[in-house]
A = this chain, B = another copy of it.
Amino acid sequence: MSSAARPDPAETPEEQRFLSTEEAAALERELLEDYRFGRQQLVELCGHASAVAVTKVFPLPTLSRKQRTVLVVCGPEQNGAVGLVCARHLRVFEYEPTIFYPTRSLDLLHRDLTTQCEKMDIPFLSYLPTEVQLINDAYGLVVDAVLGPGVQPGEIGGPCTRALATLKLLSIPLVSLDIPSGMPGWDAETGGGDSEDGLRPDVLVSLAAPKRCAGRFSGRHHFVAGRFVPDDVRRKFALRLPGYTGTDCVAAL
């Protein structure tokens, strides 16, 4: 095909691998309603896979003690629940997670996942320093579990919005779960990853399947954590993803 005949980028097969916000919601509905997956089950699978992705980019034996410290910033929605599970598995993998979860959901699932972390002695920060250097000095990396696709920063309240503003300024590695949280340029639909306003994660872990904004991700490592997605659902949503190896729950894109 000559370059003159190239279709609109949004129509190319490459682009079709990435889901719009509506498609992502439809895929999740299919898993929950048709396949009868439980939310607890999906959040557990996604959080576990997110922690495994972290270990692939930052293998424990290569890290100093300080580098093993991970700040996990959790929002009040489902993305934050995945962050809580990710923190627990990171602890199990012998990292040293700390959680910042300023706007707590009243949802029973969130409360139970919080209790699991608290009982495992994972520290919860009561506030996030606005002095960025304090965070750069204290942690080896940050996991952004603030916002998933379709949730705008305006919907989640002040503490999370302020946390995003702080995360934007960090110099330590940033791992975003599902999408880089909430900045206008990273809207899952429009995919404007070049915006100077957005978080610029080094690692992106797409949950279930990559969202459209992932098409413009320019960080070092992009993983998809969707091995649990049944073949029929992959076909239905035209997901052409790389194969998973062995029993791996994540694949590098």
| Chain A interface residues (CB < 8 Å from chain B) | 34-38, 40-41, 44-45, 51-52, 55, 60, 92-93, 109, 111-112, 115-116, 119-121, 227-228, 230-232, 246-247
Secondary structure class of chain A's binding surface, majority of residues: helix
Q: Which residues of B contact A232 (CB under 8 A)?
A: 119-121
Among the listed B92, B115, B228, which residue makes an inter-chain contact with A92, where contact means beta carbons less than 8 Å apart? B228
Contact A119 B41 (CB under 8 A): no
- Residues of chain B within 8 A (CB-CB) of A35 are 115-116, 119-120
What is the minimal beta-carbon distance from A181 to any residue of chain B, in angstroms? Answer: 25
Q: Which of B44, B51, B121 contacts A45 (CB 8 A)?
A: B44
Q: Can you report 21 A-B residue pairs in the complex whose CB atoms are below 8 A from each other?
A: A34-B119, A35-B116, A35-B119, A36-B111, A36-B112, A36-B115, A36-B116, A36-B119, A37-B116, A38-B40, A38-B112, A40-B40, A40-B41, A41-B41, A44-B44, A51-B247, A52-B247, A55-B246, A92-B227, A119-B230, A121-B232
Contacts of A37 in B (CB 8 A): 112, 116
Complex Cα–Cα for A52 and B249 (A): 11
CA distance A35 to B52 in the complex (A): 22
* Chain A to chain B: the 5 pairs with minimum beta-carbon distance, closest first: A36-B112, A36-B115, A40-B40, A38-B40, A120-B230
Closest chain-B Cβ to A128's Cβ sits at a distance in Å of 25
How long is the Cα–Cα vector from A45 to B36 in the complex, in angstroms? 17
Q: Which residues of B contact A116 (CB under 8 A)?
A: 35-37
Chain B residues within an 8 Å CB radius of A231: 120
Cβ of A62 to closest chain B Cβ, rounded Å: 12
> How far apart sit A93 and B248, CA to CA, in the bound complex (Å)?
9
Given the known interface contacts A45-B44, A230-B120, the answer about A247 and B55 at a Cβ–Cβ threshold of 8 Å is yes
| Residues of chain B contacted by A38 (CB below 8 angstroms) | 40, 109, 112
Given A36-B119, A38-B112, A52-B247, 13 extra CB contacts under 8 A = A35-B115, A35-B116, A36-B116, A37-B112, A37-B116, A38-B40, A40-B40, A41-B44, A44-B45, A60-B246, A119-B232, A120-B230, A121-B232
CB proximity of A246 to chain B, nearest CB, Å? 7
Q: With A and B bound together, what is the CA distance between A109 and B60 in angstroms?
A: 36
User: Complex formed: what's the CA distance from A44 to B230 in Å?
Assistant: 16
A227 vs B90: C-alpha distance when bound (angstroms):
12
- For A45, the chain B residues whose CB sits under 8 A away are 44
